[in-house]
């Protein structure tokens, strides 16, 4: 039986607190072994029925990357147009992705056709398959930060267009598009807090509702 | 800038490897401060637009808990009936939830009506709000395991019925139902591997597809 001591618990809390959604990357490459190490750790994530439906795709081809950037720019312009006045000014000042600079792009898919897991645990909640991929993203994110790497999750994209740009099976559903690289700067507070977009809720800790 | 040393990285990998979906719990209570500590750590999870849409509900009322158990038993019987022959025998031998024994039940919802985050990042991928709740579940799970607590995610439930049993707003969508308590036993391999339901994939590490 493995137990974890107070020093580890303390540093783990630091890791949770310092994990950031990074949008400002250095352009220097990420060591291949380091990237593989973080991906291997993500494979220890929970998945429904042990289905392990996560599929990680590294997008390196310049045309494909440019296609993803173009999708982001379309969606971001559309999103900006939905805000008014000061909120719109605030939106356009935000840097919401580091797609151009990040040395590594990872598109993370859910293989909806997988037979692994034999359907266990997802008859009444079929969304569990995609949720399993999300847990792998969060595990990868924490592993990356522990090794000095920054990750940014870009969701201002057209998911079906991105599948086409990347060229994967129609059975694969895009769950996350991640920028990965070394961060230019590090902060303990989220960028959206620092720039006044959205404060942390419940400063006294996580509310627990009783039933 | 906070960095993490090799010793921490090593123990973090142990934590990922030893996090289990627990179904066999001791019935002794969980210290309130310990539970709160793990929930507070989950509040450091990423969320789209910093929307923090997770809502944790502790289900303690015996009638409500019994209603959840009944939902599980209905769904589990229905699921068993979908398998044939040996696979069915294997299914019915699995212990898929520890709802009766676990001292703490946490229902985790996504508040779909939240204005926090001002819609940022979810115009084209509205599922990002629920995905944000999933990252909080995974963070809670890791924090709990680091403090000796076991967590089991039960998805063999009727999510809308469970909302009614627990009595929360219709704007809240059930993402996860968690059993929490001290585990009876601990294993480095998943229960579904140990009982021959589903092996780990990619023994050589996480596959990385290139595009």
**pLDDT over 90 percentage in chain A:** 93
- The yes-or-no verdict on residue A54 having pLDDT over 80 is yes
Environment class of residue A96 by beta-carbon count within 10 Å: exposed (0-12), middle (13-18) or buried (19+)?
buried
For chain B, say whether A167 makes contact (Cβ under 8 Å): yes
pLDDT digits (tens, 9 = 90+) for A91-130: 999 999 999 999 999 999 999 999 999 999 999 999 999 9
Q: Which of B131, B165, B180, B205 to mutate to test the interface with A (most CBs of A within 10 A)?
A: B131
- Between chains, do A49 and B107 touch, taking CB under 8 Å as contact? no
- Between chains, do B146 and A175 touch, taking CB under 8 Å as contact? no
- The residues with which B210 forms a beta bridge, in sequence order, are A58
Please say whether the dihedral angle defined by the alpha carbons of residues A73, A74, A80 and A81, taken in this order, is positive or negative.
positive
Chain A hits for B59, Cβ within 8 Å: 211
For chain B, say whether A159 makes contact (Cβ under 8 Å): yes
- Between chains, do B36 and A64 touch, taking CB under 8 Å as contact? no
pLDDT digits (tens, 9 = 90+) for B48-74: 999 999 999 999 999 999 999 999 999
CA A76 to CA A70: how far, in whole Å? 10
pLDDT at A170: 84
ipTM for the whole complex: 0.97
- The residues with which A108 forms a beta bridge, in sequence order, are A56, A176
- The yes-or-no verdict on residue A202 having pLDDT over 90 is no
CA A119 to CA B76: how far, in whole Å? 12
Environment class of residue A10 by beta-carbon count within 10 Å: exposed (0-12), middle (13-18) or buried (19+)?
exposed
Chains A, B: CB pairs < 8 Å: 285
pLDDT at A153: 98
Residue A3 DSSP code = -
- The yes-or-no verdict on residue B25 having pLDDT over 80 is yes
pLDDT digits (tens, 9 = 90+) for B130-186: 999 999 999 999 999 999 999 999 999 999 999 999 999 889 999 999 999 999 988
- Between chains, do A15 and B4 touch, taking CB under 8 Å as contact? yes
Confidence of residue A1 (pLDDT cuts 50, 70, 90): low
Cα distances (angstroms) measured from residue A193 to each of A91, A92, B45, B117, B136: 13, 15, 14, 10, 18
pLDDT at A41: 97
């Amino acid at each position: 039986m493995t137990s974890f001591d107070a020093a580890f618990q303390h540093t783990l809390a630091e890791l949770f607190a310092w994990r950031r959604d990074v949008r400002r990357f250095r352009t220097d490459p990420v060591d291949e072994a380091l990237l593989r190490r973080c991906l291997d750790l993500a494979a220890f994530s929970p998945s429904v029925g042990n289905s392990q439906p996560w599929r990680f795709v590294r997008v390196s081809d310049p045309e494909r990357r440019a296609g993803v950037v173009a999708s982001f720019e379309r969606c971001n312009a559309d999103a900006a147009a939905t805000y008014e006045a000061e909120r719109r000014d605030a939106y356009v000042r935000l840097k919401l992705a580091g797609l151009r600079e990040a040395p590594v792009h990872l598109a993370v898919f859910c293989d909806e056709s997988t037979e692994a897991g034999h359907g266990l645990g997802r008859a009444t909640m079929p969304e569990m398959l995609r949720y399993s991929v999300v847990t792998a993203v969060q595990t990868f994110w924490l592993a990356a930060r522990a090794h000095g790497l920054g990750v940014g999750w870009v969701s201002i994209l057209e998911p079906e267009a991105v599948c086409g740009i990347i060229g994967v099976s129609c059975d694969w559903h895009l769950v996350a598009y991640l920028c990965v690289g070394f961060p230019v700067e590090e902060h303990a507070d989220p960028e959206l807090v620092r720039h006044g977009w959205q404060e942390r809720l419940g400063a006294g800790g996580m509310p627990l509702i009783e039933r």
